[in-house]
Amino acid sequence: MDNTKVFRMSFSGVYPLYIQKAAKKGRTKAEVDAIIFWLTGYNNETLQKQIDKKSDLETFFAEAPEINPNVSKITGTICGYRVEEIEDKLMQKIRYLDKLIDELAKGKSMEKILR
């Protein structure tokens, strides 16, 4: 499968969609940010820099300060794929983020999401 198109999507284009998905279910931008910070090691300032420079997803994850060591605890399916079985490491990181935002929108507590 050619994932180039996904990798080239700008994080600044996807980010508002994550916030919108969460907001539809009564969740907040702060919760979305907390998930991103937990997963990637970014903070408010460094995340905003990625948004401002319109980094694509490949760059966003490549420049992430630290991918959380507990990502292996993220399991289940997203878009028909088991996240723990995705072989392409970059696609797996993208799907981890999708999965965590999905769990937020489904009403899971932040404590459970941030394993």
Whether 33 maps to a domain, the answer reads yes
113 part of a folded domain: no
Q: Please indicate, yes or no, if residue 1 is contained in any of the structural domains.
A: no
Paired with 10 in beta bridges are: 56
Per-residue pLDDT tens digits for 19-65: 999 999 999 999 999 999 999 999 999 999 999 999 999 999 999 99
Q: Is residue 54 part of a domain?
A: yes
Averaged pLDDT, 74-101: 93
What are 104-115's pLDDT values in tens digits? 999 999 999 998
**C-alpha separations of 19 from 9, 33, 44, 66 in Å:** 17, 9, 15, 22
Domain count, the chain: 1
Q: Is residue 2 part of a domain?
A: no
CA–CA gap between residue 13 and residue 34 (Å, rounded): 18
Report the CATH number at residue 29. Answer: 1.10.8.290
Q: What range defines the domain where residue 67 resides?
A: 7-108
Distance of alpha carbon 108 from alpha carbon 31, whole angstroms:
11
